Every structure is written in structure tokens, then in C-alpha cells.
Structure 1
Amino acid sequence: MKTNMNKRQYAYKVIRTRIVDGTYAPGQRIIINQIAKEVGSSHIPVREAIHQLESEKLLEFKPNIGAIVKGIDNQLYKESLEVLALLEGYATAISATNITAQGITKLKEINREMKIMLDNYELDKLGALNREFHFHIYSFCPNELLIKNIEETWGRLDIVRQAGFTFYPKRTPQSIEEHATLIQLLEEKVSSATIEQYARNHKLKTLDAFKLRS
């Protein structure tokens, strides 16, 4: 028998996954009875999951309607990128003190694969490789709460990425070059402050590309 907390987490995962993968579209109402039946719980864990998703700005409450999928507007997207720049900069700096030689080699392989995908214009694979690159770095970060917050913020941005709004062909070659520089900084074990600033600026340049496009 699942505990109430586990049921809440399960309901949260079900709803959030469907928002991120586009199963639940912006404006769609979340039916509490339906979710409760699917996860085998009472209404309470589902309501708790909904409140959490409201705090993450993935759902919003509408009077006489209930919880609906909020999606992400331009302003929230920009704010999420700004927060992500701070979180990822710090996570990269922490990871730098723990990353192994094998970890560095793996980063080089991923970045090389990104270059091949770009040259072959297999654009649909670049986003997944970019995520793999950064989260491989974070696999060396011992701060689990920090990584959880990064994952949640990426999840919000994934809603926009799913619609194909965040791919910038002109930005991608520069991003791959920046990855190579970041790998070099990690390999040379430069100061944490230098790595944090570089990783932060790397993310902020994506925000700059978004602003130019919007």
C-alpha cells in the first residue's frame, strides 16, 4: 500500500509528465476524479500534487473551472532561463571539483556527437544531446536539492521546447564551441569562480538569442 506521500508524488509525476510531453495542452482542465482513479488514491494526494504544480507555474487555478494547464509565456520563459543560469553556474562549479577524467572524456564524446548532428542537420537530436551534456556534468554534483531544482526548471522549459520554439540554428555552433571551452576549463581545473561565471554566461547567451528572436 502506497503512503499518502508516495501517492502524491505519483500523481505529481503523472500530471507533470503529461504537461511536459504535450499530452495535456495549455488551457486543458485537470480532472481530479480521473487522476485519482488512475493513481489509485483519494482526492487529497491529487490536490496536493496540483498545488505543487501550481507553485511551479505549470498549472493555474481558475474560479468555477479548477486547475488548468498554464504553459509558459515569454516572460516566464525568460525568468526561468535567468534562474537556470544561476543554478547551473553554481552546479557546474561544484561538479568541477569532483569530475573525473572519464567524465571529461564523456563530455568530449557528447560534444563531438552534437557537432556531427549539426553538420548532418539532424536538429531534432541536438536538444537531447545538449541536456545529456549538462546533466552529465551535474552527475558529479553532490547537492541533490540543487539538481532537483535544475530538473524542475528544465521541465518548465521543455514545454516550450516540445513546441519547437527554442531551437536557434545560429546559436548552436557557438554553443558547441562554448561546450568545448567549458570542457577545457574543467580539464585544466581552473578556479570554481571562473567556471561558475563561464557556465552562467553560457546559459545567458541562450536567453540573448531568445530575446533577439522574440
Structure 2
Amino acid sequence: MVYKKLNKRQYAYEVIRGRILDGTYVPGQRIIIDQIAKEVGSSHIPVREAIHQLEADQLIKYRPNSGAVVLAIDDTLYKESLEMLALLEGYATVLSVPFITEEGISRLVNINDTMREAVKNYELEVIGSRNKEFHFIIYSYCPNEYLINNINQVWERLDTVRRTGAVFYPKRAPESVKEHDQIIKLLTEKKDMSEIESYSRQHKLNTLIAFEKRKAGTI
């Protein structure tokens, strides 16, 4: 009985979360519990539990007289997400070092070359998708699955912002490609772990710096 209940909760969670992340549910939209319960074939309880979990993920918020509403990601949450990602990705990159193969390094080089060409041609969607692919190839060698799951959740939250067009820095892209070159060099040469972690963390924080400069009107 408990197992069945857990399945229904998780199913409702995945349905709602997926629709938020793919833009089906937009910021400010109310989540109709009755409707979700019918779709997943459950009572209200698993759906309410799923919504509580989504509240913890900062994707939904309860509002008086409105119920569960899709939450817009504001500047503060975006900045906090990038700061968290910097810490998680720095450590995940270090954990990947002993396991990454020559084939993995070659894939990183090819993807970054593709990203370099996309920057020249101003192909914004290609830049974004290749950037994510670059980092997740590194994480595919990380043995800590729980860490990668957390990284993936933060990336998905940030992807929601990017899909709305609220956050993008074309001037940041060329620098990001150069920093990828340096990450590849550090991984290839098996540099000191603290150096790799520090550089990988700063790579992500540089995006936050670009964001803050853009908000201040200096770029």
C-alpha cells in the first residue's frame, strides 16, 4: 500500500514537474489538483504530496485563494542556483578526473569546436545545448550518482529561465569556449585536484558575474 502510494506521488511529481520545465505550465498558472489526480489515477493525497515536493524544489508556491501556482524564477533564485551549481560542478569535475578516458577527452574537444563554430555563426540554441552536453560528458564519469542528480535538477531549473529568453549573454559565449579549452587541458594533464576544482567552480561563477554586469548595464 505504501509502495503504491509512493508510485502515485512520484508519477504526479514527474507529470507536473515535466510540464513546468517544458513550458506547458507557465509562471503564475494554477495547478488543478482534481485534474492531475484524474490523469494519474489517484486520490488528491499523492498529488498534494507531489506539490509539496515541488515547493521544496522552488518550482511551485502556495498562494492564498489561488492554491498551488507555478513559481517564476526571480533574479535571487537564479543567482543562488548558479552559486550552488558552481560548488556542485567543481566537485563533480574533480571526482570525474580519475575515470575520464581519452575518448571522453576527444568528445569534449569535438563538442567545444562545434560550440566555437556556433559562436561565430551566432547560433544561440546550439551554443546552449553544446555547453550543457560538454559538462554532462564530464559528469558521466563521476561515480557519485546522487551528486549528478542534484546537478541535473539545478540545470533543469535554469533551463526554464533560458527558455523564456530571460537570461542569455552572447558576449559571454566566446569566453566560455576559451574556459572549456582550459578545462580540457587541466583534465588531460591530470593537474592538481584543487586547481581543477577551483577553475571549474570559477567557470560557472563567471556566468553569474556576467549576469550581474548585465543587470548593472555594464555589458
For the superposition of Structure 1 and Structure 2, which TM-score range results when normalised by the shorter chain?
over 0.9
> Residues 112-156 of structure 1: CA distance to partner in whole angstroms, max 9, x if unpaired?
110111112211211111111101110011111111111111111
Structure 2 partner of 1:74: 75
Once the two structures are TM-superposed, the CA of residue 108 in structure 1 deviates from its matched residue by 0.6
SS of 1:165's partner is: coil
TM-score normalised by the chain length of structure 1: 0.96
Structure 2 partner of 1:64: 65
CA contact (8 A) 1:71 1:159 kept: no
Over 6 Å off, 4+ runs: none
SS of 1:147's partner is: helix
For 1:136 and 1:8, locate their aligned partners in 2 and report how far apart those are by CA, in whole Å.
31
For 1:168 and 1:129, locate their aligned partners in 2 and report how far apart those are by CA, in whole Å.
15
Structure 1 partner of 2:171: 170
Structure 2 partner of 1:143: 144
SS of 2:69's partner is: strand
Task: Give the residue type in structure 2 aligned to 1:164.
Answer: G
Q: How does 1:20-169 map to 2 (within 5 A)?
A: 20-169=21-170
> Residues 53-76 of structure 1: CA distance to partner in whole angstroms, max 9, x if unpaired?
101111001122211011200011
> Residues 34-82 of structure 1: CA distance to partner in whole angstroms, max 9, x if unpaired?
1111122221221111111101111001122211011200011011101
List alignment gaps of at least 5 residues for structure 2: none
Structure 1 partner of 2:201: 200
SS of 1:5's partner is: helix
TM-score normalised by the chain length of structure 2: 0.94
Percent identity between the two aligned chains? 62
Task: Give the residue type in structure 2 aligned to 1:33.
Answer: D
SS of 1:170's partner is: helix
SS of 1:71's partner is: coil
List alignment gaps of at least 5 residues for structure 1: none
SS of 1:49's partner is: helix
For 2:132 and 2:40, locate their aligned partners in 1 and report how far apart those are by CA, in whole Å.
29
RMSD: 1.3
For 1:15 and 1:183, locate their aligned partners in 2 and report how far apart those are by CA, in whole Å.
37
Task: Give the residue type in structure 1 aligned to 2:15.
Answer: V
For 1:33 and 1:125, locate their aligned partners in 2 and report how far apart those are by CA, in whole Å.
39
SS of 1:3's partner is: helix
For 1:48 and 1:73, locate their aligned partners in 2 and report how far apart those are by CA, in whole Å.
24
Once the two structures are TM-superposed, the CA of residue 20 in structure 1 deviates from its matched residue by 1.3
Is 1:17 the equivalent of 2:12? Answer: no
SS of 2:170's partner is: coil
